[in-house]
Every structure is written in C-alpha cells, then in structure tokens.
Amino acid sequence: MRTRVGIVGAGPAGLLLAHLLAAEGIDVVVLERRSRAHCESRIRAGVLEQATADTLTAAGVGDRMRAEGHVHHGIELRFGGEGHRIAFDELVPGRAITVYGQQEVVKDLIAANLANGVDLRFEVEGITLGGIDGEPHLQWAGGRLDCDFIAGCDGFHGVSRASVPAGRLTAYEKTYPFAWLGVLAAVAPSAPELVYSASDRGFSLHSMRSDTVSRFYLQVPPETRPEDWSAAAIWDELKARHETVPGFTLATGPVMSVDVAAMRSFVAEPMRFGRLLLAGDAAHIVPPTGAKGLNLAVADVRVLARALGEYYRSGREDLLDAYSATCLERVWRAQHFSWWMTTLLHRFADADAYDRRLQRAHLDYVARSRAQATALAENYVGPPYEG
C-alpha cells in the first residue's frame, strides 16, 4: 500500500491529525496496536484548554463536547483550612476550561474519521518504522505501508521515538518521588469546580467526568499498586485530605476503577527526524498536575497539520523545518507550569521544616496576589494559538 502520511497511534494526536489532513484531501492511514474498544475506554485526562476546545469545535468534532462537557471558570486551591478560588472569568476574561474526558474525545474523533472514510486499522501487531531519512515505510505482520511522511503519535512507550537512531535525540527527563492513585467513582461531584488540596497528608485532587461520575487523585508512594487500596481506605483518605474547610462534606459512592500513574517530565528534542515527525506523548510528557498532556498533543497536531497541508499545497517545506522549534516553545512553557504546580502542591518526603514553610509562603502568595493568581490562571486555561 501507499499513502501520503502514515500515522502510528490512534490516540487524540493521531486521530486529530488524520481528521485534519483528510479534511484537506491528504491521504492518511492510521495504525494502532490496541483494539478500538481499548482506545475508547482508557481513562486519561479530562481538562481541555480554551484553545483545545475551540480547535475541536472548528474541526467539526465538538458537538458532543459542547453538549456534555462542563465549562469551568475557575479552580479552587485548598490549604491551611481555607479554600481560595482562582477565578478565570476575572483574571483571564473570555477563557475557560472544559471538563470532558479524553476517552470521549477519542470516541468523537474515531467516529468522525470513519464517517469520512479514513483508513483506521486497530490491533495491528509488530509495527516497525523504516527509511525515515529517505523512503519512509511502516511494516507489520503481513503488511507494509509506503508513505511520504510518518507521524509518530503512539505515546511515551511507542515504537516511533524508539526508532530514532542513537545519537540523534536529546532527552530531558525528571522523575518525581511519588505517584497518583486515580479513582473513578459513581458519585455526583461534591464541588462545582476542580479542587486542588494540599495537606500534611499529601496532595489530592477532586475532579469530575459528568453530573454522576467523579474523578479523584491521591498522592501516593511511587511503588503503590491499585490493589493496595480498598474502597474504604480510598474514601477515608480522600475525606481526610478534602474535608479541611468548614462546611465541606465529600460525597462517597461505588468505586468504578482504580489506577496508578507515574509522575514524570520528559522532552525529546528535536521532534523531527528526516521524514519522521513526533507528536504528543511520543515527544513529551508532563506530570498531570497542570492538565497539559492532551492539550499539548492538540497543539502539536495543529502545527503539524498546517505544515503538511502547506507542503502538499505549494511544496513549501519551511513550516515543516520549523515544526520542532515551533512546538517546543509551547512544550517548555507547559513543562515549567506543570513542574511549578507539582512542587507547589505536593508533600515531598525529603522536605525539611524550612522547605515546608517556603511552600506554604508560596501558596499564600498565589492566593493573595492578583499577579500570581493571574499567572496561574493564564497558564491553566492555556495560551491562545498564534498564526
């Protein structure tokens, strides 16, 4: 087979790229090693920046997001027995976040691609990349796809970045000394907006997926396994970390799923290697504290789709040449914000009394300073796109 762009990975990055390119008449084939059911059910991020929501709407895949998603105009920082609202509507007027699960975005994109006749192939085993400096191709058990470009959108553990020859990639990485226990529960949210709670017991986040389903996270040791926590222990700890302000009671309900997410930061530079272009988690990951992973993937794809579209319209390669530098400017801004939020809110085991007092002073400053609150707000809702 032959196509113009071979896309590895049917996550948000690969699916959105396929949809945008197909809309411009550019032939694509998407290869995914997992099943469609797995891709549509994997629970991941659920906070969409303003620019991400606008992108999905402009691409014609935002109808269900607008009908079922929850638009939030602020978040709460909870510490020291008080709650402090960071009001996006006051600090960054006209910009908000939309709470809408990543798996729902994936469902919408799969449906749109199939409706448009895009060649999506699931459960493709043994994918390998070749010819990235000359004649790019993808091979798997029983098949081969020749293409002009390969878009590596297959995540942190995928084959795309691993196919880059030694010495051509610089990796920047930081691992945090804790993990997040993620809990999905069949219970109505106890707060109207996301609550970031910092306490002596560790960090905790109260989020939501719908009017009847809530999502919670607990800071836990990095070696934690989901089976280490019973439902009773989960609710006890969530209550201890969230019921720290007068009048707040955390509603409980059946636990639907429990998972553990490692906390790390990673950036691969550059993001282009000949005819191979990395996007999303294949090129960079952030700790989920700042809710940037999915949003960075969408930002990458916007740049890449524009660059490939211009290449096929006019033969210009300057946008492709600038792809990595263009994306990395936004990536490093998000890296800093995610690191900042993580260090601001989590309890570090090796922190001494001085470190803890500094952390509390920083939290007080964010809560009391309009300038600091504005910096948090504009980074959280995400910068607008340029060009």
* 284 counts as catalytic: no
Q: Choosing from 206, 292, 311, 346, which is the catalytic residue?
A: 292
Concerning whether 196 is annotated as a catalytic residue, the answer is: yes
Give the largest CA-CA distance in the chain: 65
d(CA 119, CA 115) in angstroms, rounded, equals 10
Q: Catalytic annotation on 385?
A: no
**19, 72, 107, 206: the active-site residue:** 72
Q: Where does residue 43 rank: exposed (0-12), middle (13-18), buried (19+ CB within 10 A)?
A: middle
- The catalytically annotated residue of 288, 311, 323, 346 is 288
Give the separation between CA 18 and CA 113, rounded to whole angstroms: 7
Per-residue buried b or exposed e for 98-124, using 16+ beta carbons within 10 Å of the residue's own CB:
bbbbbbbbbbbbbebbeeeebbbbbeb
Active site residue 165: no
Q: Which of these, 293, 200, 213, lies nearest to 254 by C-alpha position? A: 213
Q: Which residue from 253, 251, 274 is spatially nearest to 195, judged by alpha carbons?
A: 251
Buried b / exposed e across 261-300, counting CB within 10 Å, b at 16+? Answer: eebebbbbbbbbbebbbbbbbbbbbbbbbbbbbbbbbbbb
| Active site annotation includes 311 | no
Spot the catalytic one: 100, 176, 196, 217: 196
Residue 24 to residues 18, 106, 306, Cα–Cα distance (Å): 10, 20, 10
- What residues are labeled active site? 72, 196, 288, 292, 380
